[in-house]
């Protein structure tokens, strides 16, 4: 199955695209730039969405739904908003076979329509705060697209909150940033740096843009956000044989592969395998018995490895005679015999261990590929490496210097970390005074 998939070290970008398609996460749609999220990919998305949704609701958010179409006048109300989005928008000019009196934009974000409704609903400070979240699809016309990472239509979540005071609004933003950080680390097993975007990188119209930045296996940064979660999830952990999914987001935790020759062995092995599967019913651990007759066990091993199922149980006649099965971990490939009557406990214990191990591995990788840099020659050399990684370097805070740095090195300032300490120094590029270090990297 893994045949024909380029190794990560050979062509990371092609490797990614192949994995996405072969693991049946997504496929290209008839419309250029759009994708079909296939059932297996959507099952992962549902887990992402459900986990985040529960966390949002814990913070007092409620869900609502706003329309797909936005009147053109709304888009034009704020010059900055229209400048930023208009070139990326799909616009509907006809409806019901007639030209429309006012063109309708397919939402690139719901901000304008949500705030127009808030204007109607908020009579006084007593109506505040409003904490509304929306799960929706948005459209941004893209010239260069990439499955999950950049597509013309994508699924996302947008929270728009209204507060009585500025400090309360800031407090709310930081609370949500912490929710995203916790989700990335606890569910995706992807460590992130929380920070603030520089003036030139911030979202149009925003006072400040907060972000979480993660490092992928090729040492590039990815700003994690709902639309990117699936891409980040794939890129952060997977290997040359396919997906490696953190158990908390895996649609299927365990696959049982029966091994047999002839009808008598088949009956005996399948009976034990089915009993094992049934033992997990209602436990929260999802188990599938792959009893297909038309493909070999080896073929099944490869297929489920490609799909990133965390644990595989192999069970054959010799195992049965010895009262055991073989348990194989997807992340480490560790393979060990486990007594049949201890298997359920072992699996229940191993899944959270794998979740932890993935985070630990990602943390170690990030630590090994994050370096302080003081001078521009070293910075440039670092960005030329196969795995450029994150650089912590002093920066003067000037937009012109940032633009030049990007032009000269293709790297960007990913964020000003929230947890940075004041550290007077000299800007890595221009030598002007710097108040502290920022995170610089090449990015997606």
Question: Which residues contact Zn ion (rule: CB under 5 A)?
Answer: 396, 401, 427, 429-430
φ, ψ for residue 49, nearest 5 deg: -60, -45
Peptide bond into 129 cis (omega under 30): yes
For 55, 224, 251, 296, 342, the CA distances from 283, given in Å and listed in that order, are 22, 31, 14, 29, 16
Q: Smallest gap, in angstroms, from Cβ of residue 382 to Zn ion?
A: 17
Which is closer to Zn ion, CB of 172 or CB of 201?
Answer: 201
State in angstroms the smallest separation of the CB of 196 from Zn ion: 18
Q: Least distance from C-beta 338 to Zn ion, angstroms?
A: 58
- Considering beta carbons, is residue 111 or 402 the nearer one to Zn ion? 402
Residue with tokens 């740096």: 193
Rg over CA atoms, the chain: 25
Instruction: Tell me whether residue 252 or residue 401 sits nearer to Zn ion (CB atom).
Output: 401
Q: What's the closest the beta carbon of residue 213 comes to Zn ion, in angstroms?
A: 20
| Backbone conformation region of residue 96, classed left if phi is above 0, alpha if psi is from -120 to 50, else beta | left
DSSP 107: P
* In the complex, least distance from residue 429 CB atom to Zn ion, rounded to whole angstroms: 5
**Cβ of residue 432: shortest distance to Zn ion, in angstroms?**
5
CA distances from 293 to 186, 266, 271, 315 (A): 38, 10, 15, 15
Find the shortest distance in angstroms from Cβ 410 to Zn ion: 17
**Of 83 and 375, which has the nearer Cβ to Zn ion?**
375
| Sign of the alpha-carbon dihedral angle for 163, 165, 166, 171 | negative
Torsion of CA 327, 328, 330, 334, to 10 degrees: 120
CB of 221 to Zn ion, least distance (A): 20
269 near 317, Cβ under 8 Å?
Answer: yes
Q: In the complex with Zn ion, which residue's Cβ is closer, 176 or 401?
A: 401
Angstrom distance (rounded) from CA 273 to CA 34? 41
- List strand residue ranges (DSSP E) for 353-417, in order: 370-372, 390-394, 412-417
| DSSP 3-state of 27 | strand
Nearer to Zn ion, 6 or 431 (CB): 431
CB of 418 to Zn ion, least distance (A): 21
The Cα 347–Cα 331 span in angstroms is 14
| C-alpha to C-alpha distance for 318 and 290, rounded to whole angstroms | 19
- Find the shortest distance in angstroms from Cβ 438 to Zn ion: 10
Token readout for 283 is 């436990």
CA 28, CA 40: separation in Å to the nearest integer?
Answer: 15
Q: Would you call 5 exposed, middle or buried from its count of C-beta atoms within 10 A (0-12, 13-18, 19+)?
A: buried
């Amino acid at each position: 199955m893994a045949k024909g998939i380029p190794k990560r070290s050979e062509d990371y970008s092609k490797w990614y695209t192949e994995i996405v398609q072969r693991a049946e996460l997504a496929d290209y749609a008839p419309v250029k730039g759009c994708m079909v999220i296939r059932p297996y990919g959507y099952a992962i998305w549902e887990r992402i969405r459900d986990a985040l949704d529960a966390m949002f609701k814990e913070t007092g958010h409620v869900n609502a739904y706003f329309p797909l179409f936005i009147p053109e006048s709304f888009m034009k109300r704020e010059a900055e908003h229209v400048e930023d989005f208009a070139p990326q928008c799909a616009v509907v000019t006809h409806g019901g076979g007639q030209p429309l009196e006012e063109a309708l934009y397919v939402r690139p974000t719901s901000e304008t329509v949500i705030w127009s409704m808030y204007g109607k609903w908020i009579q006084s400070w007593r109506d505040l705060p409003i904490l509304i979240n929306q799960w929706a699809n948005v459209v941004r016309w893209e010239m260069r697209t990439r499955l999950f990472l950049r597509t013309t239509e994508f699924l996302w979540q947008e929270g728009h909150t209204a507060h009585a005071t500025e400090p309360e609004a800031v407090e709310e933003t930081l609370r949500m940033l912490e929710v995203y950080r916790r989700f990335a680390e606890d569910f995706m097993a992807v460590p992130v740096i929380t920070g603030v975007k520089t003036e030139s990188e911030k979202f149009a119209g925003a006072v400040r843009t907060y972000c979480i930045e993660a490092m992928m296996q090729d040492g590039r940064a990815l700003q994690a956000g709902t639309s990117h979660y699936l891409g980040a999830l794939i890129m952060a952990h997977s290997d040359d044989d396919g997906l490696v999914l953190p158990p908390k987001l895996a649609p299927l935790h365990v696959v049982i592969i029966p091994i047999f020759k002839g009808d008598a062995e088949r009956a005996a092995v399948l009976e034990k395998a089915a009993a094992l599967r049934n033992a997990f019913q209602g436990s929260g651990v999802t188990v599938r018995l792959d009893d297909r007759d038309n493909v070999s066990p080896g073929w099944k091993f490869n297929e489920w490895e490609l799909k990133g199922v965390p644990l595989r149980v192999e069970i054959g006649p010799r195992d049965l005679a010895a009262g055991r099965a073989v348990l194989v971990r997807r992340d480490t490939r560790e393979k060990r015999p486990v007594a049949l009557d201890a298997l359920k406990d072992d699996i229940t214990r191993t899944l959270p261990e794998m979740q932890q191990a993935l985070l630990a591995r990602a943390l170690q990788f990030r630590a090994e590929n994050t370096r302080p840099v003081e001078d521009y020659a070293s910075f440039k050399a670092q960005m030329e490496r196969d795995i450029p990684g994150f650089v912590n370097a002093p920066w003067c805070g000037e937009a012109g210097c940032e633009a030049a740095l990007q032009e000269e090195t293709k790297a960007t300032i990913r964020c000003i970390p929230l947890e940075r300490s004041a550290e007077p120094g000299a800007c890595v590029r221009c030598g002007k005074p710097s108040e502290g270090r920022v995170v610089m990297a090449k990015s997606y």
